Amino acid sequence: MLVAAHEDCEEHVPFPGHPERPERYSAALEGAAAAGAGSLAVEVDEEAVLAAVERVHDRELARRLWEACSRSPSIFDCPDNPISAGSYRAAIAAVACALAAVDAVLRGEAARVFVPARPPGHHALRDRAMGFCFFNNVAVAAEELLSRSAGPVAIVDFDVHHGNGTQAHFWERDDVFYLSVHRYPFYPGSGAADEIGGGRGRGFTRNFPLAGGADDSIYTGAVAAGLEEILETAAPTAWLVSAGFDAHGEDPLGGMRVSDEGFAAIGTMLDQVRGESPLIAVLEGGYRPEALRRSVQRFLTGLAGTAVS
């Protein structure tokens, strides 16, 4: 197990009291270290990152973000996306970490890589940032894998919020299966059970909406059912995970009751279903740093096959 991280991910500094704060990055790193994960060197090549970003986003999005950061502090695209002078640099670094993880698994350096990316990404739309997200790190990684003939790809999103940006990007695609387990109805409002994809992608999107207050049994049961559907529908040769830990019972935003052990169970399930295929887990939510640290540690021990029951 390796960790693809870069210190520039701390440069995004929203206003004081904002839940998506730099402490999340250090908490996730501490959790990964406690799980025994090694370090993967990440080089930030802005030109290469922007080329990869443009497979998912309108090219004007990056330019607009760069210009807005030069006039920061301000708000970018929607009220929940405050930015600082370093927000563009952090968003570029987050994508660079995801791309480094892709390189590592395709070179055979690791079968599993954790990316403690911040800002997160799964709400980012093609031409607009939202929900604390600027670039869709997981979608960019998926497109990178596919461009290098590593597919089909499964994306498993267990963040408490539905990944509307990821779903929208792959809605009509049959080379990516998108599974989301999340609270519903809840922000951002999408993710109903009847949202299953369109065109040739019909049946390659699967949502498991859960009522608030779901505990380990309910949440992990939904993940298990979703994983079964992936294996019945597709034959993934690579797995990506939008690893959001805001369904934790201590999280200030999620309203769910998943425990540290629940995330360990999810990690174990993912390790079992991936077989010999590589898996990259990219951080999404999780807004109480101490709970995030523990959740990451337990999730990664499960993913590495070393969780204690």
pLDDT reported for residue 253: 98
306 falls in which pLDDT band (50, 70, 90)? confident
CATH superfamily of 2-303: Histone deacetylase domain (3.40.800.20)
pLDDT reported for residue 307: 66
| 92-114 average pLDDT score | 98
Q: Is residue 123 annotated as a catalytic residue, yes or no? A: yes
Instruction: Quote the distance between the C-alpha of residue 16 and its chain's center.
Output: 24
Please write the tens of the pLDDT for every residue from 180-215.
999 999 999 999 999 999 999 999 999 999 999 999
Cα torsion 162, 179, 95, 48: sign: negative
Q: What six digits make up the tokens of 152? A: 């089909």
- The 3-class secondary structure across 226-293, one letter per residue, is HHHHHHHHCCCCEEEEEECCCCECCCCCCCCEECHHHHHHHHHHHHHHHCCCCEEEEECCCCCHHHHH
Report the chain's mean pLDDT, rounded to a whole number: 97
pLDDT reported for residue 308: 55
Give CA separation, 250 vs 59, 190, 213, 254, in Å. 38, 24, 12, 9
Q: What six digits make up the tokens of 290? A: 């101490």
Is residue 115 within 8 Å of 283, Cβ to Cβ? Answer: yes
Helix axes 59-69, 87-107, angle to 10 degrees: 140
Portion of the chain with pLDDT greater than 90, in percent:
98
Give CA separation, 264 vs 101, 181, 284, 304, in Å. 21, 16, 17, 10
Is residue 230 within 8 Å of 192, Cβ to Cβ? Answer: no
pLDDT at 48 over 50: yes
Considering the candidates 12, 57, 122, 123, report the single residue annotated as catalytic. 123
Instruction: Quote the distance between the C-alpha of residue 225 and its chain's center.
Output: 20
Please write the tens of the pLDDT for every residue from 260-291.
999 999 999 999 999 999 999 999 999 999 99
242 falls in which pLDDT band (50, 70, 90)? very high
Is residue 285 within 8 Å of 161, Cβ to Cβ? Answer: yes
Please write the tens of the pLDDT for every residue from 141-176.
999 999 999 999 999 999 999 999 999 999 999 999
Distance CA 98, CA 21 (A): 20
Task: Look at residues 8, 93, 5 and name the one whose alpha carbon lies nearest to residue 41.
Answer: 5
Between CA 274 and CA 282, with CA 278 as vertex, the angle to 5 degrees is: 95
Supply φ then ψ for residue 28, to 5 degrees. Answer: -65, -40
Task: Look at residues 220, 229, 290 and name the one whose alpha carbon lies nearest to residue 261.
Answer: 220
Please write the tens of the pLDDT for every residue from 288-300.
999 999 999 999 9
Task: Look at residues 264, 259, 271, 258 and name the one whose alpha carbon lies nearest to residue 298.
Answer: 264
CB atoms within 10 A of CB 32: 26
Query: With a threshold of 0.85, does the pTM exceed it?
Result: yes
H-helix or E-strand containing 114? strand 112-115
Which DSSP letter does residue 167 get? H
